A and B are shown apart, each in its own frame.
Chain A
Amino acid sequence: MFRKIVLFACMVTVLAMSFSLPATAEQKLIKIDGSSTVYPITEAVAEEFQKAKKGSVKVTVGISGTGGGFKKFCRGEIDISDASRPILKKEMDACKEKGIEYIELPVAYDGLAVMVNPKNAWVKSLTVADLKKMWEPAAQGKVTRWNQIRPEWPDVPLKLYGPGADSGTFDYFTEAINGKSKASRGDFTASEDDNVLVQGIAGDKGATGYFGLAYYEENKDKLKVVPIVNPATNKEITPSLQTVMDGTYAPLSRPLFIYVNKKAAASKPEVKKFVDYYLKNAAMLTKQVKYVPLPAKAYKLTEERFGKMKTGSMFGGEEKIGMKIEELLKLEEKK
């Protein structure tokens, strides 16, 4: 009996190998990968799109981080890359080398919320300078108590929580606060899992940290969000759907993108249909997953951009702080 099983197993394995390898399935499959921040939006679009197409098109969404997504994208392994920051110079070069052209499409805004423990009664708002005192590389091992930030604050240990160095959120925050992407003190509790950050801040009176607004929205009862002083207007602004969308919550608002492989969009009709569907429904779906939609005008400009298959990046390979997507898109139009 056992002999037969083994024999059968061998046969099936051999058969399987010989049958499946040459036939790379000719099915309608859209491959997406990249940022975990953009993931909830893309997942929502993919879910609805597949329902609308009644399963005739298959969509896969992975989470490799913005950097990991671009690596796969520039090797031509995926059709669309989710990104929580614009494509960088070296990634542009990698794509160029492989002859991969891309269409850059902003799809939503995200606010970075700065959080403290609910028992923290002394912090009413924070300025960019305060945040810099806490997070700059020079603060490492030196700035460890709240009264070192502002003398009127109590002598309580300062505990910092933030996303890890592979995250686009970390890149953006360090650029906006410390003036240089990835420049941060190293002695803070870093985790790619935002739930760890929520637990950490919720359990320690002297704790503070930052992550995407959507996470705060789901954990409002455990955390206190801190208004940030807008350096341009000197007003204290609390992050919310409204303040992120109208751009008053600055500098900690950022646009989120998808990058579409031009060849895939041109040669695979399902990819084009998917992106059209994405842009049409982004406003509704981003709100549903607690992100901030772009203004209606910006979506229109984005749709036009995709319609014209305009390749390249609006950012020239650098992070830009406080750029309004609408203005950028209009600038591009005039060129």
Chain B
Amino acid sequence: MTEDGTQITEIRKRIAFNRLRDHIFWIAGLLSTLVGLLLLFTLMIDLFTDGASRLSYKFFTSFPSRFPNEAGILSAWVGSFLVLFVTALAAIPLGVAAGIYLEEYAKKNIITDIIEINIANLAGVPSIVYGLLALGLFVYFFKFGESILTAGLTLALLILPMVIMATREAIKAIPNSIREASYALGATKWQTVQHHIIPYSTGGILTGIIIGLSRAIGETAPIITVGALTFIAFLPTSPFTSEFPFISFKWLLDPFTVMPIQMFNWVSRPQPQFHVNAAAAGIVLLVMTLLMNAFAIYIRYKFRKRIKW
């Protein structure tokens, strides 16, 4: 009888101890999460108190200037937008095609393994290395010059591994039964990919692409290496012309600047008013990134709802 009693208290003790441990981890986890959130929050509050006063319509429509109150981010945000556009055009088809090939077509052998390992490694290469590669390849070898095209392609290289990995993860999530059903009905590999694999993985792929792009928008190092300029008080050539064929691609070879570089330049100036400008540009960049991430989440949610298997 007494032995049973001690056993029960023993078990109860253990349960209490385990519960305590559970609680401790719960608190530690919560604190760790809060540290990250708090940092982001402090950063945002700091940026907003510094820069919010400068945010106005004029700030978006003015060129940089030596007078801090007249300076704006027009050439910077247009530059960022165009560079990102080129990046998306180059990285999406290449990345998605490579991802589909590796998942659906490539035979599982040593060469595929090597390719896979290398893609995973590429994702971890510091961005400045891509900048140096692009300087040699695009600027000097292909003679694209220090242009929007060069910058866009450089960033495309940078996010390519991310797009490939996102594509593969999205495709991996599709149950094999879908493929088997498709083949059973006599579909070819491409028909299966076209009608099933791509539509079902679109959500995941788009999420990966947008997260890649939101990383690209903040990149500074590789863009400096390929020759982004500091003072640009004009816009690239308009892509629309009044003459046939109404579309011009001259802007691809125009010199450019982007948001992070404009910020960097303002931060390194002596006048404190320019630091306010830098904070304001920081807010714009942060909001752009957050919006892109929010869009990614929305897309994922929408596509997930549509697919039922």
A197 to B223, CA, bound (A): 26
Which of B28-36, B88-96, B119-127 lines the interface with chain A?
A: B88-96
B33-60 vs A, Cβ < 8 Å mask (1 yes, 0 no): 0000000000000000000000000000
Given the contacts A12-B89, A43-B66, A61 and B229 also touching, CB distance less than 8 Å:
yes
- List CB contacts (< 8 Å) of B238-254 with chain A: 248-250, 252-254
Interface contact B254-A62, CB-CB below 8 Å: no
* Number of residues on chain A facing chain B (CB within 8 A): 43
In the complex, chain A residues whose CB is within 8 Å of the CB of B230: 39, 43, 61-63
Q: Are B270 and A218 in contact (CB under 8 A)?
A: yes
A residues less than 8 Å from B284 (CB atoms): none
Q: Considering the complex, give the chain B residue whose CB is closest to the CB of A290.
A: B270
| Nearest B residue to A198, CB-CB | B270
Is residue B234 within 8 Å, beta carbon to beta carbon, of the partner chain? Answer: yes
> B194 and A193: CB pair below 8 A?
no
B65 touches A6 (CB 8 A): no
B186-231, CB < 8 A from A: 194, 198-199, 202, 227, 229-231
**Would you call B267 an interface residue if the criterion is a C-beta within 8 Å of the partner chain's C-beta atoms?**
yes
Dominant SS among interface residues on chain A: helix
Q: Say yes or no: A194 contacts B65, CB within 8 Å.
A: no
| Also in contact, A3 and B194, with CB within 8 A (given A20-B149, A20-B252, A215-B270) | yes
A9 within 8 A of B: yes
A40 in contact with B229 (CB, 8 Å): no
- Looking at the assembled complex, report how far the CB atom of B272 sits from the nearest CB atom of chain A, in whole angstroms: 8
Q: By the criterion of a CB under 8 Å from any partner CB, how many residues of chain B are at the interface?
A: 35
Q: Which residue of A lies closest to B91 (CB)?
A: A9
Contacts of A59 in B (CB 8 A): 231, 233
Question: Which B residues from 92 to 151 make CB contacts under 8 A with A?
Answer: 92-93, 96, 149
Query: Is there a chain B Cβ closer than 8 Å to A122's Cβ?
Result: no
> B-facing mask of A189-226, CB < 8 A → 1, else 0?
00001110010000000000000001101110000000
Closest Cβ neighbor of B199 among chain A residues: A2
- Check: B61 CB closer than 8 A to any chain A CB: no
Most chain A CB neighbours (cut-off 10 Å) among B90, B231, B237: B231
Please indicate which of the listed interface residues A10, A47, A219 has the most CB atoms of chain B within 10 Å of its own CB. A47
Interface centre among A9, A24, A62, A198 (most CB of B within 10 A): A62
Q: Are A60 and B231 in contact (CB under 8 A)?
A: yes
- How far is B153's CA from A13's CA once the two chains are assembled, in angstroms? 11
Shortest B124–chain A CB gap in Å is: 27
Residue of B66, B93, B202, B252 with most chain A CB atoms under a 10 A cut-off: B66
With a cutoff of 8 Å between Cβ atoms, the chain A residues found around residue B65 in the complex are 47
Decide: A62 near B249, CB < 8 A? Known: A9-B89, A46-B233, A218-B270.
Answer: no
Q: Are B254 and A25 in contact (CB under 8 A)?
A: yes
Do B270 and A214 touch across chains, with their CB atoms under 8 A apart? yes
- What CA separation (Å) do A27 and B234 show in the bound complex? 13
User: In chain A between 32 and 55, which residues have their CB closer than 8 angstroms to a CB of chain B?
Assistant: 33, 39-40, 43-44, 46-47, 50, 55
8 Å CB interface, B267-303 against A: 267-272
Complex Cα–Cα for A195 and B266 (A): 11
B237-A25 in contact (CB<8A) = yes
**In the complex, how many angstroms separate the beta carbon of B46 from the nearest chain A beta carbon?**
16
Whether A232 is near chain B, meaning CB under 8 Å from some CB there, is no
Which A residues lie at the B interface, using CB under 8 A?
A: 2-3, 6, 9-10, 12-13, 15-16, 19-20, 23-25, 27, 29, 31, 33, 39-40, 43-44, 46-47, 50, 55, 58-63, 193-195, 198, 214-215, 217-219, 288-289
- Apart from A2-B198, A20-B250, A47-B66, 6 more pairs, CB < 8 Å: A3-B194, A9-B92, A58-B234, A60-B231, A60-B232, A195-B267
B residues sitting closer than 8 Å to A (CB atoms) are 65-66, 88-90, 92-93, 96, 149, 194, 198-199, 202, 227, 229-234, 237, 248-250, 252-255, 265, 267-272
25 pairs, A vs B, C-beta closer than 8 Å: A2-B202, A9-B92, A16-B149, A20-B249, A20-B252, A25-B253, A25-B254, A31-B255, A40-B66, A43-B66, A43-B230, A44-B66, A46-B231, A47-B231, A47-B233, A58-B234, A59-B231, A60-B229, A60-B232, A62-B230, A62-B231, A194-B268, A195-B267, A217-B270, A218-B271
The 4 A-B pairs at the shortest CB distance, nearest first, are namely: A218-B270, A61-B231, A20-B249, A19-B249
